[in-house]
Structure 1
Amino acid sequence: MATHAVTSQDFNQVVESNDLVFVDFWATWCGPCRAFGPTFEKASEANPDIYFAKVDIDQNPDLASAAKVQAVPTLMVIKNQQIVFQQAGALRASDLDDLIAQAKELDVNAAAAEEATEQAQ
């Protein structure tokens, strides 16, 4: 299995020790979560260079709250310890593949510098 169950206790360590982390916040009772699960799993197998984490919100409510998760599934992308994407709702496989490609290409430092320049103007 290429996805990893992550808890509140090991979340920070996972984020700190991986350059790119995709996090699926989900719940066992959530139909869309169960539908998105195989898509997320398949993407994880196709992208071994990315850490794919699954967080059960019922088992880790403090982590879900800290991440401001208000609906499941919620997908969060963390690159170089910065949240670069967060959205509720299940993605189609093609949309997830697109997001993975964009995340791999994203230069977080350049994006932060560009945002700082825009805010200064």
Structure 2
Amino acid sequence: MPTVELTKDNFEEIVTGSEIVLIDFWAAWCGPCRRFGPVFEKAAERHPDIVFGKVDTEAQPELAGAFRISSIPTLMAVRDRAVLYAEPGALPPQALEELIGTIRAVDMADVRRQAAAKSASGS
């Protein structure tokens, strides 16, 4: 599946309508972003059940600001509307594959229980 350009107009719909979304925050002038792009594209081809979205931080400053993106590239992984990973830096292919495996293996019922417990405790 090809990558999807995420904008302020389609972001909510795509992220809430998909089980797993990997988001690459990038900009055309960023050398590490340009090197990571093909790695991200190849992973998208290998995992057609995952949405691979790209946010051009220059064209979508509102989205970059909403997620407090201060360094690019930043990779974010969202599963069932919960952010499970958000780190700056370009991952090599093997590390990206390992991250995808980890995201797939997360027990989302446990994540929701922990979030509810944290919310109930007020922290």
Superposition TM-score tier, normalisation by shorter sequence: over 0.9
- 2:39 maps to amino acid: T
Unmatched tracts of structure 2, length 5 or more: none
Could you tell me how far apart the structure 1 residues matched to 2:100 and 2:72 are? 20
State the SS of the aligned residue for 1:22. strand
- 1:101 maps to amino acid: G
Q: Does 1:92 align with 2:89?
A: no
Cα deviations across residues 34-82 of structure 1 (Å, max 9, x unaligned)? Answer: 0000000000000000000000000000000001111000000000001
Q: Which moved more, 1:99-108 or 1:23-32?
A: 99-108
Identity of aligned residues (%): 39
Could you tell me how far apart the structure 2 residues matched to 1:15 and 1:114 are? 21
Aligned length: 119
How far apart are 1:10 and its partner, in Å? 0.6
Q: Which residue of 1 aligns with 2:77?
A: 77
1:1-16 alignment runs, 5 A limit: 2-16=2-16
- 2:37 maps to amino acid: G
Q: What TM-score comes out, normalization by structure 1 length?
A: 0.92
State the SS of the aligned residue for 1:83. strand
1:1-121 alignment runs, 5 A limit: 2-114=2-114, 116=117
Unmatched tracts of structure 1, length 5 or more: none
- 2:5 maps to amino acid: A
How far apart are 1:85 and its partner, in Å? 0.5
How far apart are 1:95 and its partner, in Å? 0.4
State the SS of the aligned residue for 1:48. coil
Could you tell me how far apart the structure 2 residues matched to 1:4 and 1:15 are? 11
How far apart are 1:96 and its partner, in Å? 0.2
- 2:90 maps to amino acid: A
Q: CA RMSD in A?
A: 1.6
